[in-house]
Structure 1
Amino acid sequence: MKIIEHQANGINYYTLVNNYHMSVTIMDWGATVTAIRTHDKDGQYANVVLGFDKGEDYINYRSFFGASIVRVAGIIKNAKWRNYELTQNFGEHHLNGGNMPQIAFEPWFLERKLQTKDQVGLVMQYITLDGENGYPGTMTITADFILDNHGKFTISYTGKSDKTTLFNPANHSYFNLSGNAERLIDHQILKINADEYSSLNKHNLPTGKLPWVTDSPFDFRDRTEIGPQIAKIKGGLRHGFVLNHTPHPQVELLDRVSGRKMTMRTNAKAIVVSSATNYRDDRYKLNGGQPMRSQLGISLQAQTLPDAIHHKEFGNIIIKPNVPVTYQTAYQFSNIYDV
């Protein structure tokens, strides 16, 4: 187990490496996961998340690839909560914690490094002040990134505020198990242990309704090829799913060509899935010079459903003063062809 550090253009990178050559790279700007390298059926290692080739492009283009989204991931309709006016940075709405500042593109402080014979990790911290982006309370947010020797990568976000406020963090990695985004995600297999999803209106805002997935394109309760399914959904997937309580992994992603498999287990109540459908940008240089293309990756954000403050059945994201709240998600990587 080891941590490799390097710096480029004022950005600090930390690569966690386990004893079996799996590695995870995190940069301090945005506490961002820039790479997760796992092996295919032939033992070749490649990056299974989308990431810019140049670290400064994360900041220049303000795209959320791999970023830590705080205080609140997703949208807040009309940018209002109680008597607080939140930053409007998505039309009249508030998106991904606001942009004054946008914490996903600010430097986080490395609090400490962790290393044992079975685990290696980082603890990063960001302090957001009372009133920033309209939120009450000075909040200390910590992000723990831990890789173990069994292919498990765990991200934990803890928030503690001196006033009653909102907290609903998420990591915004886009996964593509082909490795180095060699192929689109269309033929990869997705399974989500969820009976209900969050419907959206024509403006892609949550309606507050939670229809059953049965007999709909949103039914991923069995292993389902992604491409044909999202072709039935106008604009592709950008929806939240209410996760079932189960001791088993709640989400599974699989690529039969490379053999790579990832499962997810989280204490969050939901997952927001984005298939990046119609997301194109030729300026972006990703994973070895590739431009961003539609369905090049799939984002699996463990969190409480977006706009929860306006829909009580979505869950509670209000936290009390001086009571820390933690969201934790474990990603287990393996290969189906390993003997």
Structure 2
Amino acid sequence: MLKIAVQWSCVVVACLSLVTACRNQSPQEISAGAFEKEVEGKSAALYTLDNGKGMKARISNYGGRLVSLLVPDRMGELRDVVLGFDSLSGYMKSTEPYFGAIVGRYANRIAKGRFKIGQDTFRLSINNGPNTLHGGLNGFQYRLFSASPRGDSSLVLNYVSKDGEEGFPGNLRVRVQYTLTAYNELKLNYQAVSDKNTVINLSNHAFFNLNGAGSGTVNKHLLRIFADFYTPVDSTLIPSGQISPVEGSPFDFRKARAIGERLAEANVQLRYGKGYDHNFVLSSKKLWKEAAIVKGDQSGIMMTVYTTEPGLQFYGGNFMQSRNKMRGVKSDDFRTAFCLETQHFPDSPNQPDFPSTLLKAGQIYKSTSVYRFSTE
């Protein structure tokens, strides 16, 4: 009996030691040197933000990308909730060009790559079937921003998009500021000004998994979206122009439910998007509004999204195909991340009933979005 008790005690101690080791294991380290490279004659680098409250963010000025975001879970252990690569070359070679990037000049799709301002028609590069997606073939995700740290917790990125870049009119000066606040928030402030009338729709394309990057499917995450309506799309994911109620459809996230709960339903919109890849019309008419709440089913990490934008694109990782080796020797497997892109609506320049994305010459574009993290 004594021998058995001793053996059992050893097993318990070994198991506890293993659990402790796993919980104390730090997230994948990232080498700043792996992000230092000359790109088109300019220097790429990696910047680290720390709010002194347990959160850290790493940002590359290549594409203005959110490379890593460390957030404490319900046990106080840090988890990296953003998918990314461990080097700049990973982003440059990726078959998915938008990991963590600032997307523009126009986030989301523009039908057939053209739009009009007054009597002038502008033709854009085509990079998504018959349409333009996220600014075109060489959008902001491939551009090098100049970077200026503001203390330990903030970084300002600037980029000048020249007149005619990807077909868009006007020299556009863009400023994006990342800030980690004392409230465990990641705050993004966008500003822009153009010397000609143009269209603009800026957003961030972080791929989130609140259980930790590489931890498996996000289909069990609980999601709530503060939207009574969404914008249905055609087979090329261009809005039809209708604004349809979510009630009675798989797009009803007004009460929190698992992301994957209704994915198997026979629904033409789910078929077109291969799941969720749709714009939700945020219900609040206030300038500053709550857009969504997501909870990781394993970590207890909750992310609440606030924005000044009228829409939210929810993408459920339907086109992830395990083609890219991510940080920590993991891959971008099917539906192992989701995106919540604060935005104006897709194809607004061609949809007169949608909120306008016209930016007049000399006018200042401003937009703010916040991702607040807590645990439950």
Which bracket does the TM-score occupy, shorter chain normalised? over 0.9
2:92 pairs, out of 59, 70, 94, with: 59
- Check whether the contact 2:47–2:58 (CA below 8 A) recurs between aligned residues: yes
Relative to structure 1, is the Cα distance of residues 5 and 267 closer, same or farther in structure 2, using a 3 angstrom cutoff?
farther
Instruction: Determine which structure has the larger strand proportion and give its number.
Output: 1
From 258, 263, 276, the equivalent of 1:237 is: 276
Question: What are the ranges of 5 or more consecutive residues in structure 1 without an aligned counterpart?
Answer: none
What is aligned with 2:33?
Answer: 7
1:18-97 equivalences under 5 Å are: 18-61=51-94, 63-82=97-116, 83-97=121-135
- 1:163-206 Cα offsets, whole Å, 9 max, x none, are 00011011001111001331210111000000111101122221
Contact (CA 8 Å) 1:195, 1:244: kept in 2 or not?
Answer: yes
CA contact (8 A) 2:64 2:102 kept: yes
Percent identity between the aligned chains? 28
Aligned residue in 2 for 1:169: 202
Moved more, 285-294 or 326-335: 285-294
* d(CA) in 2 for partners of 1:73, 1:137: 17
- Root mean square deviation, CA, Å: 1.7
Residue pair 1:53, 1:285 contacting (<8 A) in 2 also:
no
Partner residue, 2:146 = 109
Deviations 1:228-268 (A, max 9, x none): 12333331100000001166622100013211000010000
Counterpart Cα distance in 2 of 1:127 and 1:248: 29
Q: What's the offset of the Cα at 1:278?
A: 4.4
Cα distance change, pair 80–278 in 1 and its aligned pair in 2 (3 A): closer
Q: Output one character per residue of 1:42-88: Cα deviation in whole Å (capped at 9) or x when no partner.
A: 22111101112332111112520110001101111111112111112
Taking the aligned partners of 1:203 and 1:30, their CA distance within structure 2 comes to 26
Q: Which has the higher helix share?
A: 2
Question: Which aligned runs of 4 or more in structure 1 are off by greater than 3 angstroms?
Answer: 4-7
The two structures have a TM-score, normalised by structure 2, of 0.83
In the superposition, the TM-score normalised over structure 1's length comes to 0.92
Shift of 1:5: 9.6
Larger radius of gyration: 2
Count the aligned residue pairs.
327
Following the alignment from structure 1 to structure 2, what is the Cα–Cα distance between the partners of residues 130 and 5?
36
Aligned counterpart in structure 2 of residue 129 of structure 1, from 129, 150, 162: 162
Using a 3 Å threshold, how does the CA distance of structure 1 residues 137 and 5 change in structure 2: closer, same or farther?
Answer: farther
CA distance in 1 between counterparts of 2:375 and 2:349 reads 40
1:6 positional shift: 3.2
Task: Structure 2: give runs of 5+ residues left out of the alignment.
Answer: 1-29, 38-43
> Which position in structure 2 is the counterpart of 1:302?
342
Deviations 1:84-136 (A, max 9, x none): 1111222332111112x3321121111x2222xxx720110010111111111
Residues 114-263 of structure 1 correspond to what in structure 2 (within 5 A)?
114-115=150-151, 120-232=153-265, 233-234=270-271, 235-245=274-284, 249-263=290-304
The 1-side partners of 2:142 and 2:182 are apart by: 30
